[in-house]
Structure 1
Amino acid sequence: MKKTLAVMMSALMVGGLALSGCGGGQTATTAAPTGAAKTEAAGTESAAESAAPEAASGEQVTITISNWLEAEEATSAIFKELLDDFMAANPDIKVESQAIPFNQYKDQVLIAGTSGNAADVIMGNSQMMSAFNGAGILAELDSLASKDVLDDIYPGYLSGTTYGGKVKALSWAPHPIAMYYNKDLFTKAGLDPEKAPATWDEMTEAAKAVAALGKDDSGNTIYGLGLPTGKVAHTGTVFNGIFYTFGGHFVDKDGMVDLNNEGNVAALTWTKELVDAKVIPAGLEIKDLRGLFASGQIGIIFDGDMGRGAFRASSGIGEEFDKKMGIAIIPAGETGRSETVYTEHQLAVFEKSEHKEAAIRLVEYLIGKDAMLKYHKSNAVLSARKSIATLPEMNEDYFMEVFNKQSETASPLPATNAMFDNAMNEVTKAIERIVVNNEDIATVLDETNATIREMYGQ
């Protein structure tokens, strides 16, 4: 794995642009006090959230936070507001934002981190944090973060930021994948539009019934289920939830890549059968499926909470589309529980930061009650913390109730290796070979398994 990572980092150093940052090498006259921030009880505001601690010497510590939120129109204003709120509550800390476009973010942070110049607080998603951890730029948070905060995070979300038994980041704005369905198509197919399928078998039968409608009034094919089966790494990523539903997995309990297992074979056999029956469209990615669902050509689709906004926009009727849309947790499959995966924003502290105590105060503020309620009101984000996710303000409609319920059983992506994104590209290729090219499932899984193990250095 060290050899693989070294090759990856060398390529980044040649092809990327260095990110200037003062997080690792900045000198300050005083360290921020942290005792009050360590006493936060689950469900209550921390001292950092409710009171402005006095600077020990009247001078400020300056910390930086790298992010892509300020670089995007939908989140720029609220992100700046949250930082301003933190600084108002913590006058001994000044926060400087390093905004980086999303498509450049991972590479620039890796380059900055390995050169010792990453921001004090590092934002990322599940796949990015795996790479950042592999590069050794994340600080351990087990003793740095408040125990009460750590205990308040849903176990599934906390496990997704734990590497080798050490917490290296904290969950922020998770996006569990749930189930959407088209009520109009359910009605036309003779199904109850107010009753979502509760089991995988019920969902499969409902999808077949919708597909049996054939075509819409414009002659477009109607599909029962929209499941990504090709093109981009996202397909392989979300397919982990399908593997889990059938009792399968991407890595075994020892962390070894293990694709050719009974559950995965069953999941892919099921998928192939529905693709052949034209219940699932073949070779499409999530953006294609979202468009088909919004236009009434797909009966059921799996997507995150951001899906609602995408469907409203693609349908051309905005919030009126909500009347056509049902929402429910993923139906229970072979394991007897609602199996799904999540993506999320995460916050970490740079290993070489000279201001870790101030950095963790910012992290805990951003994932705390006041900030999350404001962020939720602005962008309908979820919280990974049990005490916050269950607040009435976070469950203002049935849609939010379902996604908060889905958080209880959401599993982290198995992104334990810095090459996870590359591995998911290989899984996507395997799915395409099986469902589009009609290749043998076991053979494809064996070959893909060998490719990824070599990639992982296993």
Structure 2
Amino acid sequence: MKKTICALLALLLVCSAAFAGGSSEPAAAGGPVTIKVANYALLESGYEAFWKGIKTNFEAQNPGITIEWVTAPYGEIMNQVINMAGGGDKVDVIFGEIDWVPGLEDAGLAAPITDILPQEFINDFYPDVINSFKINGKAYGIPLYISPYVLYYNKELFRQAGLDPNKPPATYDEMLAMAEKLSQLKDSNGNKVYAFGQTTASVPVSGASLNAMVFNFGGQILDDAGRLSVDNDGFRQAFSMVKLLDERGYNPQNAKLKDLRNLFALGQLAMYYDQSWGFNGVKSINADAVNFTASASPLRGGSGTGQSLLQAHCFVLVDNGKARADATSKFVQFVINENQLNDYLANLTPAYPAKKSMANMTGVVNNGVLKGAAASAGNVKQQTFIPQLSDLNLELCTLAQAVTVSRQNVDTAIATFKRNIQAKLN
């Protein structure tokens, strides 16, 4: 068993038997086919109706193909998929995030998309987006939609602080000047209003958000060959900013994205970084959030241009033989289509299309929440894919906690980070 697979299992807190591979026997050609789709979103508020509608409508249009959902909470779905595969029962499709791709490919649970999807369909996706899914020249995931980390801000809190709600900050210096005023506010119940939220909790998505912040400052974490490369001003400046935000009490300490969404929805957080689709979580807590929420491009810091990390909700495909692969191809093409995603992106998950033919979807063009950050979709940077990406993201969280919770000097904390992650990369 490869070391990286063990690391993946450890990350997921799984103690399972050695990966055995294998798959169920495919249905006979021309006969009924069942495809298994792993999808955590069925258990999340607001998404269930959409995905149940997908199943109903797809099966109606494709007699003989049945979708069988494999569900588990967000933090456990990878565990579920790996355990099933270890018992010889592979799913056909995994609905997940781009950061999951290298681990799934390394574990043998991802097929090149060209093995399953027609080239004509793939060619409709923006080339830079498809390139972001490549490992050794082959793409191992296909995005439903994409997003950088955008800046969400509360227009009403801006007004209360005497700030122009139509002029969000463009740089970190501008943000700090505004944060000083915003941090003086209290909500209607007398609770503290935090000025700026950057997630630092020990979950991989928080590490991805910190990675995006490094890109904001023009820094990098890995070089093109996947080697650690943090001896640059942008990397240090990003974590110096994390420390400063904590010292001034602007940033909720050790918060998960869901914590930031909750605070933002309740009017206790003025600005925060999130994937564009995080607004669905905000809206599910407070439906009125659509009236006070606006978005802006990621902030520029240091010598950076405000570049952000490309994020995507995607399908990772598994090859379980021709019959199931053909059915999987039909399913993917059915879902990643304007007919299915227009209302979804307009009303559930604000995000940007990954396909050229969907660029002018009304659900995106007319979306007030997305409008302010529209330019940011063209200012993204790809993180180099390595099998240990989840480990790297978790170590970035540990670094952020070292300079905040533990109050360590930034240079000391970075030195410790380098030792810890280098041991996992070797």
Asked if TM exceeds 0.5, the reply is yes
Give the TM-score normalised by the residue count of structure 2: 0.85
In the TM superposition, residue 16 of structure 1 has moved relative to its aligned partner by: 4.8
Is 1:210 the counterpart of 2:182? The answer is yes
Name the amino acid aligned to 2:276.
D
Contact 1:169 1:348 in 2 (8 A): yes
Contact 1:177 1:305 in 2 (8 A): yes
Contact 2:297 2:374 in 1 (8 A): no
Going from structure 1 to structure 2, the CA distance change for 1:119 and 1:223 (only over 3 Å counts) comes to closer
**Match in the other structure for 1:184:** 156
2:317 counterpart (316, 330, 349): 349
Contact 1:426 1:448 in 2 (8 A): yes
After superposition, give the CA deviation of every residue in 1:11-58 in whole Å (9 maximum; x if it has no partner). 989735999x9x93323332xxxxxxxxxxxxxxxxxxxxxxxxxx6x
Distance in 1 separating the partners of 2:376 and 2:210: 17
Secondary structure (helix, strand or coil) at the match of 2:378 reads coil
**Match in the other structure for 1:385:** 355
2:392 counterpart (387, 401, 423): 423
Going from structure 1 to structure 2, the CA distance change for 1:147 and 1:409 (only over 3 Å counts) comes to farther
Name the amino acid aligned to 1:168.
Y
Distance in 2 separating the partners of 1:191 and 1:403: 19
Name the amino acid aligned to 2:28.
T
> Larger Cα Rg: Structure 1 or Structure 2?
1
Matches within 5 A, 1:294-443: 294-314=265-285, 318-319=287-288, 321-334=289-302, 337-355=305-323, 356-373=325-342, 375-376=344-345, 379-380=348-349, 382=351, 383-402=353-372, 405-412=375-382, 414=384, 416-443=385-412
Is 1:149 the counterpart of 2:124? The answer is no
Matches within 5 A, 1:88-99: 88-91=60-63, 93-99=65-71
Is 1:86 the counterpart of 2:58? The answer is yes
Is 1:445 the counterpart of 2:417? The answer is no
Unaligned runs of 5+ in 2: none
Contact 1:152 1:386 in 2 (8 A): yes
Going from structure 1 to structure 2, the CA distance change for 1:60 and 1:324 (only over 3 Å counts) comes to closer
Contact 1:236 1:428 in 2 (8 A): yes
Distance in 2 separating the partners of 1:171 and 1:243: 24
Distance in 1 separating the partners of 2:14 and 2:404: 38
In the TM superposition, residue 314 of structure 1 has moved relative to its aligned partner by: 4.3
Name the amino acid aligned to 2:261.
R
Contact 2:153 2:294 in 1 (8 A): yes
Secondary structure (helix, strand or coil) at the match of 1:15 reads coil
Secondary structure (helix, strand or coil) at the match of 2:397 reads helix
Secondary structure (helix, strand or coil) at the match of 2:144 reads strand
Secondary structure (helix, strand or coil) at the match of 1:430 reads helix
1:267 counterpart (215, 224, 238): 238
Fraction of identical pairs, as percent: 25
**Match in the other structure for 1:26:** 25
Name the amino acid aligned to 2:358.
I
Secondary structure (helix, strand or coil) at the match of 1:196 reads coil
Going from structure 1 to structure 2, the CA distance change for 1:289 and 1:143 (only over 3 Å counts) comes to closer
Secondary structure (helix, strand or coil) at the match of 1:407 reads helix
Going from structure 1 to structure 2, the CA distance change for 1:76 and 1:278 (only over 3 Å counts) comes to closer
Distance in 1 separating the partners of 2:138 and 2:267: 46
Going from structure 1 to structure 2, the CA distance change for 1:434 and 1:133 (only over 3 Å counts) comes to same
Unaligned runs of 5+ in 1: 31-56
Number of residues paired by the alignment? 424
In the TM superposition, residue 263 of structure 1 has moved relative to its aligned partner by: 1.0
Contact 2:43 2:72 in 1 (8 A): yes
Contact 2:218 2:307 in 1 (8 A): no
Going from structure 1 to structure 2, the CA distance change for 1:71 and 1:353 (only over 3 Å counts) comes to farther
Contact 1:176 1:403 in 2 (8 A): no
Give the TM-score normalised by the residue count of structure 1: 0.80
Name the amino acid aligned to 1:25.
S
In the TM superposition, residue 293 of structure 1 has moved relative to its aligned partner by: 3.0
